[in-house]
């Protein structure tokens, strides 16, 4: 009798000590998929989430009140129990993503656009494992960029696994990013004043507050470079400049001249020469998201090229 009681107590302890897999919320925003010829890519998106080896996933579709048959497509997967959904008017994709954040119940949250998919079945599992082991606030990873003409490009995070250029340009594809949902809510989620660069704004805010991040060395997302991504690049640049102005004004006077110099240099592929020295000195405080030594290396290399060109 005593032996049976002891065995049952030990079994109970083992069960309670087993690590529990946290729930993950994945949000996909949709609008008039049928009209825009996105039915096939949406199906691929939903099925790629459903086929993940990690099973504690809730996939929430936030639809902007589509009127072209998209809702019937969404209901097809809701009936299977694969997704949850909400359909109502919204103020753009980031508003929809915020709604999904508020509806979600997961410890971690990720955003997968209807044109994108997970091509590796262990992508969610590897991201969650990295977050749990590191106790980080968010994770990021490389991605495959697919163009509408079928070309593929492997996009690595800038200076991966270090992202010391985060303060100048988006350092990774946001579809690879898994974030603690409580931190997303605490930090006011996406700023819907930005229509194309709110993801970059969020990353800058998290890094300025020195939230811990972890690099996931697994390329598991295929991102389609189309739609807003390709057609709104001019507007995205304008919003990026406004994010610099807002985010760094307490560190350095962000005059129009400073912003223009940064724009000219950074968006021609030079991540070093256009940044004012005063801002560089202030950013030294924000390790690991700004690596002063790497910045100087880049600047020195640029000056060396200019010096050599002068005597050619």
Bridge partners of 213, per DSSP, are 138
How many Å apart are CA 82 and CA 78, to the nearest integer? 6
Using alpha carbons only, give the angle 185, 190, 196 rounded to the nearest 5 degrees: 165
E strand or H helix that includes residue 30 = strand 24-30
The pLDDT value recorded for residue 184 is 98
Decide: 220 and 26 in contact? Cβ < 8 Å. Answer: no
Bridge partners of 274, per DSSP, are none
How many Å apart are CA 113 and CA 106, to the nearest integer? 18
Asked if the 20-233 domain carries CATH number 3.90.550.10, the reply is yes
Q: pLDDT by residue for the chain (312 residues), tens digit each?
A: 444 333 334 344 444 445 689 999 999 999 999 999 999 999 999 999 999 999 999 999 999 999 999 999 999 999 999 999 999 999 999 999 999 999 999 999 999 999 999 999 999 999 999 999 999 999 999 999 988 777 777 776 654 556 667 888 888 999 999 999 999 999 999 999 999 999 999 999 999 999 999 999 999 999 988 755 445 667 888 999 999 999 999 999 999 999 998 888 776 666 667 888 899 899 989 988 888 887 777 666 554 444 444 444
For tokens 């021609």, name the residue: 268
> If you ran DSSP here, which 8-state letter would residue 234 be given?
H
The pLDDT value recorded for residue 160 is 57
What are 206's two structure tokens?
Answer: 């998290």
Q: How many residues does the chain have?
A: 312
Strand order through the sheet with 213-215: 84-87, 57-63, 24-30, 108-111, 178-180, 138-140, 213-215
How many Å apart are CA 192 and CA 112, to the nearest integer? 18
Domain ranges of the chain: 20-233, 249-310
* Phi then psi dihedrals of residue 104, to 5 deg: -70, 155
DSSP per residue over 125-183, as a string? HHHHHHHHHHT-SEEE--EEEEETTS-EEEEPPTTTT--TTTTTS--S-GGG-EEEHHH
CA neighbor of 75 nearest in space, from 227, 83, 67, 34: 83
The pLDDT value recorded for residue 74 is 98
How many Å apart are CA 258 and CA 260, to the nearest integer? 5
CA neighbor of 294 nearest in space, from 156, 204, 166, 165: 165
What are 135's two structure tokens?
Answer: 């106790």
The pLDDT value recorded for residue 306 is 44
Residues 6+ apart with CB under 8 A from 9: none
């Amino acid at each position: 009798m005593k032996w049976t009681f002891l065995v049952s107590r030990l079994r109970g302890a083992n069960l309670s000590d087993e690590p529990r897999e946290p729930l993950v919320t994945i949000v996909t925003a949709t609008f008039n998929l049928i009209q825009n010829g996105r039915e096939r890519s949406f199906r691929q998106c939903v099925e790629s989430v459903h086929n993940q080896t990690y099973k504690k996933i809730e996939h929430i579709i936030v639809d902007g009140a589509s009127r072209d048959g998209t809702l019937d497509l969404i209901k097809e997967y809701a009936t299977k129990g694969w997704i949850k959904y909400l359909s109502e008017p919204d103020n753009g994709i980031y508003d929809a993503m915020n709604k999904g954040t508020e509806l979600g119940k997961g410890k971690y949250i990720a955003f997968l656009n209807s044109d994108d998919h997970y091509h590796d079945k262990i992508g969610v599992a590897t991201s969650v494992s990295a977050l749990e082991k590191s106790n980080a606030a968010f994770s990021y990873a490389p991605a495959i960029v697919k163009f509408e003409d079928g070309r593929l490009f492997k996009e690595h995070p800038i200076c991966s696994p270090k992202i010391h250029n985060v303060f100048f340009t988006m350092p990774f594809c946001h579809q690879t990013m898994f974030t603690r949902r409580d931190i997303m809510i605490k930090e006011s989620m996406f700023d819907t004043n930005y229509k194309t660069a709110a993801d970059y704004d969020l990353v800058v805010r998290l890094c300025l507050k020195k939230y811990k991040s972890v690099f996931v060395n697994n390329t598991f997302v295929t991102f389609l470079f189309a739609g807003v991504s390709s057609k709104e690049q001019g507007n995205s640049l304008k919003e990026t400049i406004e994010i610099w102005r807002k985010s760094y004004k307490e560190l350095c006077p962000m005059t129009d001249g400073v912003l223009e110099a940064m724009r000219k240099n950074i968006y021609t592929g030079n991540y070093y020469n256009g940044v004012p020295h005063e801002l560089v000195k202030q950013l030294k405080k924000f390790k690991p998201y700004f690596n002063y030594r790497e910045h100087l290396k880049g600047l020195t290399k640029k000056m060396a090229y200019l010096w050599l060109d002068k005597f050619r």
